[in-house]
């Protein structure tokens, strides 16, 4: 699929490009597609690390003589580690560049995968899952930064949509692979396989991935070389990007993304104990296959949402006489945040509670599919909006967005299974749908009052001239 809508103009422009546009012409369209493929692979691997684990929870609990609720702590702890890892990776990518982050992260992923495979207790498993997640975590934040490095404003949404489409194949394939491996082989073998794939990614990055950071813009390029330490990296504060969230715009979009993604986790994390229990499914491979509609929805929704977001920017900019209003991109989230995300969550709860048999199962899978589409109709334009708004620090801004969201998510995930056990699936899903509608309200407020909110606190927003 061709990402750039102006590939021919990049190869033989009719007019000399401006100095600002030249930075986006460093790589030919084919090279750009190759770069997107590599960062998509790293992001896909990050979601495989998390997605293959959930269907294995019952087997892991039995193997380690524990309970599913206790083993699920490994999920929330790994999400917390991913939050911290993305902040560290994005912060250092702004100083040393994008490529070094991948060169450090993938060996950590390998070590964590081997350690998790050898774990003999839940604490050991949690420790190595944290290492594994730290290594995989830069995939989304730094990958989004890479897209911002090589694609200009009017092409960025579609490119990010394709990136997220490839990355979010993880939710489609990972649970299926995880369930199949758990049922027919071993969850330990699966962890070793993840480590081996990490080594393959490392080789690809070493030989085929160029540095994409804009020339002369890295922190190390601007620093006084004589003042840099000789034997260790520069010490940077990985939590500093979170300070960007004092901007009402960025905080509102981050919280809206959290409320959206929460519906995904509420539907999928307890799936073996909700849909699986309701419809008598105990085979881990079949449970894993039930995750497939969510991933397929993600894969369809992400590029479609990215395309619509780009077209929305172009159309609204034309209507404004060429003026760029960043929040116009968020208008592409309406169908997902208002309808698809909350309604599919509520309907799934009703179906699981009231409808038995094959019809109930099929309708539940349809809900999961459309939830997958809806999630990306919110997350993909929102990610492009964050990159647009903070283009010079896009990876850090995405890390702040993903990191804060993941931190809050890790707290909520620990309560999903207990909520289902205590209050039931209907109450849990209905409450989550209401939270998702609150997220829609945050997006509407951001679009309506975007200028005023950006004027409250300027955290270094980009302009049309430097975007």
Per cent of the chain over pLDDT 70 is: 94
Task: Write down the pTM of the prediction.
Answer: 0.75
The pLDDT of residue 2:
41
Separation between Cα atoms, residue 125 and residue 108, nearest integer Å: 15
Asked whether residue 10 carries a pLDDT value surpassing 60, the answer given is no
Mean pLDDT in residue range 374-395: 88
Question: Could you tell me the maximum CA-CA distance found in the chain, to the nearest angstrom?
Answer: 71
Domain ranges of the chain: 27-215+241-456
Predicted confidence at residue 232, as pLDDT, reads: 82
pLDDT in tens, 170-218: 766 777 777 777 777 788 888 898 999 999 999 999 999 999 888 888 8
Question: For the chain, what is the radius of gyration of the CA atoms?
Answer: 22
| Angstrom distance (rounded) from CA 57 to CA 287 | 11
Report, as an integer, the average pLDDT of 393-404. Answer: 84
* Ranges 188-202, 287-301, 418-432, 450-464: which has the least confidence: 287-301
Classify domain 27-215+241-456 at the CATH class level: mainly alpha
pLDDT at residue 3, rounded to an integer: 45
* Residue 77 confidence class, pLDDT cut points 50, 70, 90: confident
Q: Give the model's confidence band at 32: pLDDT under 50 very low, under 70 low, under 90 confident, else very high.
A: very high
pLDDT of residue 20: 60
Ranges 17-26, 145-154, 313-322: which has the least confidence: 17-26
Among 98-112, 325-339, 401-415, the least confident range: 401-415
What is the distance between the alpha carbons of residues 45 and 2, in angstroms, rounded to a whole number?
Answer: 23
Confidence at residue 7, expressed as pLDDT on a 0 to 100 scale: 42
- Identify the H or E element spanning 102: helix 99-118
Judge whether 291 and 271 are in contact, CB under 8 Å: yes
CA 458 vs CA 243, 247, 250, 451, 453: distances in Å:
11, 7, 11, 11, 9
Structure tokens that stand for 388 in this block: 């647009």
For the cut 50, the answer to whether the pLDDT of residue 14 exceeds it is no
Give the model confidence (pLDDT) of 314-334 as tens digits: 899 999 888 889 999 999 999
78 compared with 305, residue with greater pLDDT: 305
| Statement: residue 420 has pLDDT above 50 | yes
Q: What pLDDT score was predicted for residue 209?
A: 92
Among 36-45, 90-99, 304-313, 338-347, the range with the most confident prediction by mean pLDDT is 338-347
CA of 98: how far to CAs of 90, 129, 205, 226, 438, in Å? 8, 24, 11, 23, 35
CA distance 165 to 160: 8
C-beta of residue 110 within 8 angstroms of C-beta of residue 135:
yes
Residue 412: pLDDT band with limits 50, 70, 90: confident
């Amino acid at each position: 699929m061709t990402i750039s809508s102006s590939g021919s103009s990049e190869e033989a422009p009719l007019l000399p490009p401006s100095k600002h546009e030249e930075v986006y012409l460093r790589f030919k369209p084919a090279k750009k597609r190759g770069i997107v493929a590599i960062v998509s692979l790293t992001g896909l691997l990050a979601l495989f690390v998390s997605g293959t684990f959930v269907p294995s929870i019952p087997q892991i609990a039995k193997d380690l003589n524990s309970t599913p609720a206790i083993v699920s702590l490994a999920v929330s702890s790994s999400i917390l580690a991913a939050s911290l890892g993305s902040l560290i990776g994005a912060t250092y990518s702004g100083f040393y560049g994008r490529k070094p982050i991948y060169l450090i992260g993938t060996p950590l992923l390998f070590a964590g995968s081997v350690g998790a495979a050898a774990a003999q207790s839940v604490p050991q498993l949690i420790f190595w899952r944290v290492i594994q997640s730290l290594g995989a975590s830069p995939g989304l934040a730094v990958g989004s930064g890479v897209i911002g490095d090589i694609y200009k404003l009017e092409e960025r949404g579609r490119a990010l949509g394709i990136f997220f489409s490839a990355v979010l194949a993880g939710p489609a394939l990972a649970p299926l692979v995880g369930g199949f491996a758990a049922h027919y082989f071993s969850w330990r073998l699966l962890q070793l396989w993840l480590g081996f794939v990490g080594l393959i990614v490392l080789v690809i990055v070493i030989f085929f991935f160029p540095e994409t950071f804009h020339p002369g813009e890295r922190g190390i390029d601007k620093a006084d070389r004589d003042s840099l330490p000789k034997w260790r990296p520069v010490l940077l504060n990985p939590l500093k990007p979170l300070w960007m969230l004092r901007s009402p715009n960025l905080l509102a979009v981050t919280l809206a993304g959290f409320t959206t993604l929460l519906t995904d986790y509420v539907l999928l994390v307890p799936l073996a104990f909700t849909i699986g229990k309701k419809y008598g499914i105990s085979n881990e491979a079949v449970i894993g296959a039930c995750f497939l509609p969510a991933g397929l929805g993600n894969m369809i929704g992400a590029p479609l949402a990215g395309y619509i977001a780009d077209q929305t920017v172009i159309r609204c900019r034309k209507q404004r006489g060429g003026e760029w209003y960043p929040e116009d991109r968020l208008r592409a989230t309406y169908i997902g945040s208002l309808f698809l995300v909350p309604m599919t969550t509520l309907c799934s709860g009703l179906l699981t509670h009231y409808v038995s048999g094959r019809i109930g199962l099929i309708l539940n899978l349809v809900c999961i599919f459309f939830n997958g589409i809806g999630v990306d109709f919110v997350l993909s334009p929102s990610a492009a909006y964050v990159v647009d708004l903070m283009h010079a620090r896009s990876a850090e801004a995405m890390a702040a967005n993903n990191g804060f969201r993941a931190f809050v998510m890790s707290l909520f995930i620990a309560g999903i299974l207990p909520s289902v056990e205590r209050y039931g699936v209907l109450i849990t899903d209905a409450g989550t749908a209401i939270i998702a509608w609150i997220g829609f309200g945050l997006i509407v407020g951001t679009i309506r009052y975007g200028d005023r909110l950006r004027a409250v606190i300027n955290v270094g927003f980009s302009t049309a001239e430097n975007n």
